[in-house]
């Protein structure tokens, strides 16, 4: 399957998880591309009028993983705006990955996943599943590996 991992990452952590997921999916026989959403300037919670330098296309992919950090207990505004601009995800298999620092999934992770889920369902995506990476987790490397494994298994 041709899979696109579309990621927004401010500090590079979410991007690193996306690259590891790419390796796992490629080993499983998929053709995988990681594409970054790139903005002009620094993004803060609640920002309006986001200007994009790079807006990845979803058309080339049969499967897509949207990966984004959580900001201020919600999905990062960059990913919100990016998903709002997509016209359709009909016949696309879609999964989500949210990354956050604060412990507990309810401190923004659940909200971010719910937001992506609703936005993509409204665009007729076939939602496969999701995962949340919590950077402050004990056994971080093990948790990261488990998350990558669970997302990869969806495809």
CB 68 within 8 A of CB 98: yes
Mean pLDDT of 122-148: 90
Look at residue 40 in the predicted model and tell me its pLDDT. Answer: 87
Look at residue 104 in the predicted model and tell me its pLDDT. Answer: 65
Alpha helices (H) in the chain, listed in sequence order: 13-27, 77-85, 109-121, 140-153
pLDDT digits (tens, 9 = 90+) for 55-103: 999 999 999 999 999 887 888 899 999 999 999 999 999 999 998 777 7
Distance CA 121, CA 70 (A): 20
pLDDT digits (tens, 9 = 90+) for 4-57: 999 999 888 899 999 999 999 999 999 999 999 999 877 766 777 888 999 999
In Å, what is the CA distance from 39 to each residue of 55, 132, 133? 9, 23, 23
Question: Both tokens of residue 42?
Answer: 């620094």
pLDDT digits (tens, 9 = 90+) for 25-34: 999 999 999 9
Give the percent of the chain with pLDDT over 90.
Answer: 67
Q: Quick check: pTM over 0.85?
A: yes
């Amino acid at each position: 399957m041709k899979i696109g991992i579309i990621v927004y990452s401010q500090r590079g952590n979410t991007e690193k998880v996306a690259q590891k997921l790419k390796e796992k999916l490629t080993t499983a026989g998929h053709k995988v591309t990681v594409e970054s959403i790139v903005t002009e300037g620094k993004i803060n919670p609640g920002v309006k009028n986001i200007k994009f330098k790079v807006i990845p296309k979803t058309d080339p992919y049969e499967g897509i993983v949207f990966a984004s950090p959580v900001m201020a207990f919600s999905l990062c505004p960059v990913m919100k705006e990016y998903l709002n601009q997509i016209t359709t995800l009909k016949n696309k298999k879609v999964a989500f990955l949210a990354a956050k620092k604060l412990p507990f999934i309810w401190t923004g992770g659940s909200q971010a996943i719910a937001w992506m889920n609703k936005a993509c369902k409204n665009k007729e995506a076939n939602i496969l599943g999701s995962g949340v990476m919590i950077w402050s987790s004990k056994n971080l490397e093990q948790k990261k590996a488990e998350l990558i494994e669970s997302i990869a298994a969806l495809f």
